[in-house]
Amino acid sequence: MSTLAMLRNPKQRKLLFSAGLSWMFDAMDVGIISFIVAALAIDWNLSPGQVGILTSINSVGMAVGAALAGYMADRYGRKSVLLWTLLLFSAASGLSALAASFTVLCALRFIAGVGLGGELPVASTLVSESMPVKQRGRAVVLLESFWAGGWILAALIAYFVIPYYGWKSAFIIGAVPALYALYLRRAIEDSPKFIRQELKTSFLHKLQSVWSADYRRSTIMLWVLWFTVVFSYYGMFLWLPTVMVMKGFSLVKSFQYVLIMTLAQLPGYFTAAYFIEKYGRKFVLVTYLLLTAVSAIWFGSAESVGMLIAAGISLSFFNLGAWGGLYAYTPELYPTSTRSTGVGLAASVGRIGGIIAPLLVGMLVGWKIEIQTIFILFFVTIIVGAMAVLFLGKETKGKELD
């Protein structure tokens, strides 16, 4: 039986679906930029270094947004911050269609990143705090599964819209979520745990709490985990359409293959959602990360079309399943008073990896380093994240949130 069916409270079901749609729009915006960059590299004759800068500047904004929104959500509520971050990235995405220069586009992508980075940890905290303990982990993984829907939308837009109407049309579509925020304002409520919490403390106090003796081990583990997962994800997936072009495929054909790979994200999430309540958070994270590492080696060395698609499907399946476990696990390691701050800071550290990876790949490609060698780097990085969970993580399956 699905988690949606098991949630007897209509408000909980509505919250999961409503927050999930906002998550989907977030993913659509992040996904669109990976396809737009592939088109822009041809249209504006961008160098590999400029491609790296454009994909990384989004993550710079996401790092700022995650830390800022996490603290704001602990102070002013999960719902209000969720709405404002949704509006911010939608507006910046729409305005990106008017960008006439590389510099202006980078500035707008930074602003969009602030909204994107802020929304994700706040939404996962809101859902985690609002669900019954036996379905909490599964509910957050299902929330994260909407990310696959957003990437599928982005891939469809890339395949059916960008080749015929240009990259600006994709940015205009990215402004649509602003209208959804008007619905979301009435559709969801703040989490009961936040409403009952009366103590409002400074950011410094919350930071000290995150690094206190009770939570230091978890914080170290989460920061390593987030950095390695985000580093590998943004390094691999934002470059995926461009890598396909580098392997000799046309732009349209590359978009088609990436769309096929993206569809594999959904079963990755759904299997993770099943296993996370059956075997626990650590099992899902360690298993899916190790299989992601193997898939990265496979993809980097694949030459034929069949092998590339099979490796890409495997990479999408296991990497995004691990992401689901990551978002389910992180809020469970902190108390209500600092939960959103703790999640936001971990996500912010992760975004640093998202800044470095696309830039690094751009540099390595510019230096004529083989794709296979680049993916070995991601293999090692992912292994480090899996080991951090295995040796430093504690199991939270079935435990009530403080």
pLDDT in tens, 118-163: 998 999 999 999 898 888 999 999 998 998 889 889 888 888 898 8
Model confidence band, residue 284 (pLDDT cutoffs 50, 70, 90): very high
Q: Which residues contact 183 (CB under 8 A, 6 or more apart)?
A: 18
Domain spans of the chain, in order of start: 12-185+214-392
If DSSP states are collapsed to H, E and C, what string results for 167-234? HHHHHHHCCCHHHHHHHHHHHCCCCHHHHHCCCCCCHHHHHHHHCCCCCHHHHHHHHHHHHHHHHHHH
- pTM comes to 0.85
- What's the rounded Cα separation, in Å, for the pair 185 and 173? 21
CA 211, 130, 320: angle at the middle one, nearest 5? Answer: 70
pLDDT in tens, 185-203: 788 888 777 765 655 677 7
pLDDT at 359 over 60: yes
Q: Considering the domain 12-185+214-392 in this protein, what is its CATH number?
A: 1.20.1250.20
pLDDT for the residue numbered 324: 94
pLDDT in tens, 218-242: 999 999 999 999 999 988 887 777 7
Mean pLDDT over each residue of the chain, to the nearest integer: 88
pLDDT for the residue numbered 5: 53
- Which has the closest alpha carbon to 120: 346, 362, 361? 346
pLDDT in tens, 62-84: 999 999 999 999 888 899 999 99
pLDDT for the residue numbered 358: 80
pLDDT for the residue numbered 1: 45
pLDDT at 6 over 60: no
Q: Which residues contact 178 (CB under 8 A, 6 or more apart)?
A: 86, 87, 90, 91, 94
Mean pLDDT (whole number) for 80-107 = 93
pLDDT in tens, 302-333: 878 888 889 989 999 999 999 999 999 999 99
pLDDT for the residue numbered 198: 52
pLDDT at 385 over 60: yes
- Which has the closest alpha carbon to 316: 291, 351, 349? 291
pLDDT at 101 over 80: yes
pLDDT for the residue numbered 243: 74
Model confidence band, residue 59 (pLDDT cutoffs 50, 70, 90): confident
